[in-house]
Chain A
């Protein structure tokens, strides 16, 4: 009897030991403050050594800080800031030239719904420094005239650019997406096969899937809910997503909410009937830029744009001010509602 009991106890100990050993691979994570937001990076090393993994992570952080400094419109070293201060003169854009080129292309593609020169209005409404105000009508008229991406010029070699006098530009709508793509490339070259780059929630880029092959599960914020309240879960495998919403940054006056996304047609905060737009695609830059553009366009025009540009390979989640949830057909299987969510998802073909 005693022997059997001892054997049993030893067996239990063995089992618990095994349970402890098989706890699974632990990722390397980092929280970085950059581009005016909090970013979270999660890297799995797979078979690589810990030192190599750390180097990959710190390399990514370095690149991020470099980009942040180069692209900002508010710091002294920022190329956007230099462009803005040049008042129409040619300015060197060694780090941001390529980004500027692609941003302008997106602007043209979206018919101006995305327009980097809307920064003038962003500043006028107070979103740059926090001194919120409603600009008077004459100022808005002037702004409307100034906001025009077609008047931004890039030199042949892409090393220089200039704005038209009176214009102001920033990369607010595309910088994070750009960083997401660059960082993802860098990590892949460094041998990383499984990582998640959360660039402040509005842009997320995935490298592959999780180590066990399952997709990353990303919660989609409910525009009408409190922070942390989410409406559904999106499964992401090796792709990116970008989100623009009226709830991200806004101020309220006299019961009206003014958000930070400017509609270039009115030089005022967009009021298109949409509360949140999430774009899913391979390129993080595309997601970032299109989410802003589609938000400005509104549901009807946004859906039309999606149908007419299927070659771009992107899908969208639209959430209207009324709380309706629309999802384009490509996301049918990867988007699921949260438990307890009573609304229905309407699939767009």
Chain B
């Protein structure tokens, strides 16, 4: 095989192993802060570990419809949405920072940033 072919093969192996390693070994965040972003701007941050009673909040986005978000202790999900695909609703709950919930038509992102804000406790 030519040199560039070997190089490409090596690169692919690296990407594959690296991605797998990253996914398997990523440390779980210490805190559980759900960050809700609309159109690139952070709209709200909720500390999920401090939530006592489940509650819902509704956000109207630039897509012209709304997403209804259900917040519970330790997890969050989009329970209802006006988008045609409903991918965000089907995704269900997220409880750690592995994957975010994304509603593309409404430019809505919900991600759990454990390491980012890194909250150790809440006063209140």
Contacts and interface: CB of A to CB of B under 8 A. Distances in A.
Check whether chain A touches chain B (CB < 8 angstroms).
yes
A293 interface: no
A227 B120 contact: no
A8 interface: yes
B123 A20 contact: no
B123 A220 contact: yes
Contacts of A233: 117, 119
A81 interface: no
Interface string B33-48: 1011000011111111
Contacts of B49: 228
A210 B118 CA distance: 12
B23 to A, nearest CB: 11
B51 interface: yes
Contacts of A243: 123-124
Interface in A188-226: 196, 198, 201-202, 204, 210, 216-221, 223, 226
Nearest to A214: B118
Nearest to A280: B123
Nearest to B6: A1
Contacts of A339: 35, 42, 45, 117
A243 B41 CA distance: 30
Q: Classify the secondary structure of B's interface with A.
A: mixed
A318 to B, nearest CB: 14
Interface string A299-319: 000000000000000000000
Given A8-B14, A16-B25, A198 B45 contact: no
A248 to B, nearest CB: 7
Interface in B35-88: 35-36, 41-53, 55, 57, 71
A292 B20 CA distance: 52
A177 interface: no
A218 B20 CA distance: 34
A19 B118 contact: no
B104 interface: no
A9 B122 CA distance: 44
Q: Chain B contact residues (Cβ within 8 angstroms of A): what range?
A: 35 or more
B119 A227 contact: no
A204 B47 contact: no
Given A5-B13, A13-B17, A20-B25, A248 B1 contact: no
A229 B44 contact: yes
A42 interface: yes
A15 B18 CA distance: 9
Contacts of A24: 27
B9 A217 contact: no
Contacts of B48: 228
Interface string B11-28: 001100110110011010
Contact of B21 (A19, A201, A210, A228): A19
Nearest to B15: A12
A278 B123 CA distance: 8
B11 to A, nearest CB: 10
B10 A219 contact: no
Interface in A330-344: 338-340
Contacts of A1: 1, 6
29 contacts: A1-B6, A4-B6, A5-B9, A9-B13, A12-B17, A16-B17, A16-B20, A16-B25, A23-B27, A40-B121, A196-B121, A201-B122, A216-B120, A217-B31, A217-B120, A218-B121, A218-B123, A220-B124, A221-B50, A221-B123, A226-B55, A229-B46, A230-B119, A233-B119, A234-B123, A276-B124, A278-B123, A339-B117, A340-B44
Given A221-B50, A229-B45, A340-B43, 4 more contacts: A8-B13, A196-B121, A204-B121, A220-B123
Instruction: List the 9 closest pairs (A to B, CB-CB), nearest first.
Output: A221-B124, A340-B42, A12-B17, A16-B21, A228-B51, A219-B122, A339-B42, A198-B121, A228-B50
